[in-house]
Amino acid sequence: MIRFLVFGDLHLEDCTDGLERLHAILRHAREEKVDFIVSLGDLCFPTEDYSPVMDALKNCGIPVHHTIGNHDVQEWDIAHSLKFLGKDRPYEAFEMGDYKFIILDTCYWKSEQGEFHFPNRERVPSLYPVVPEEQLSWLDAQLSDGKKYVIFSHMSLVNPFARRGIANKEDVQRLFAGRDVRLCMNGHDHGSDLKQIGGVPYYTVSSASQFCWWSVTPEKMEVKNLFYKDPLHVIVELGEDEIRIHGMESAFVGLTPEDVGVHDYRWNGVDVHPCAKSCVLRRE
């Protein structure tokens, strides 16, 4: 059985105890003897100030695979962020047993001039986020060797909420038809979600630190981070006929969604209760 830990959206630049949260996640990974760890992006700003984060990951004794998040390239070119994360390329694949694990980079925008990686410093009117044509062709080739596949991305491949999931989600989903895609996992939305589309489960992993609420009016933009008590993450077990996702429960520290008017605990198309949901996924 393959077992791995997944976390995302630590946002250490917003989280005063972010490094302690990361160490707690890594301790749990070692206790559970997972085969590898996947970060779903938005780990921290790629600057020297946050080098202790990368030191902790590099020295944890477990392979760590990074996904590019939009905050990882908010003000930095992709080459800079790749160097910080120790990655050779923004999207990649690795294999274990009869599984192939595919890490996508969804941080692209598309304008009349073509497809470009974040950031969009000039604020060019564009469609975003997208998986560009070159990466779609690469993904198609990666899905052509008859293996079982698990897909990781920062943005959701299915969330229909405005500009949260990728804009060309149907293009990606078409590539999955007839392929043995067992699971897709994403971060970005700071909440939990599970959808089944075309026999493929799409699981959104909640943030390791907070629910990020914002309000935009002509006068101002207001942002509030509602922090969780515990660093949310999940452990995934890949069985022959089922996948078990072991989540965790936590609580808000300070502000709650009710305090910002989110009484139904739904925001940007996901559930923002302070938890990472557990579930069992069985093949149809």
What's the total number of domains in the chain?
Answer: 1
Q: 141-159: buried (b, 16+ CB within 10 Å) or exposed (e) per residue?
A: ebbeeebbbbbbbbbbbbb
Domain with 93 in it: 2-282
Residue 219: CB atoms within 10 Å: 6
What is d(CA 178, CA 156) in angstroms, rounded to the nearest whole number? 21
| pLDDT value, residue 215 | 86
> Which of 280, 191, 193 shows the shortest CA–CA distance to 237?
280
The CATH number that applies at residue 16 is 3.60.21.10
pLDDT digits (tens, 9 = 90+) for 97-111: 999 999 999 999 999
What pLDDT, on the 0 to 100 scale, is given for residue 284?
A: 67
Structure tokens at 88: 């050779």
Q: In whole angstroms, what is the distance from residue 21 CA to residue 24 CA? A: 5
- Pairwise CA distance, residues 200 & 82, whole Å: 30
In the chain, which residues have pLDDT < 50? none
**Which pLDDT score is estimated for 221?**
87
pLDDT in tens, 52-110: 999 999 999 999 999 999 999 999 999 999 999 999 999 999 999 999 999 999 999 99
DSSP secondary structure, 30-71, as one string: HHTT-SEEEE-S--S-SSGGGHHHHHHHHTSSS-EEE---GG
Tell me the angle at which helices 18-31 and 51-58 cross, rounded to the nearest 10 degrees: 10
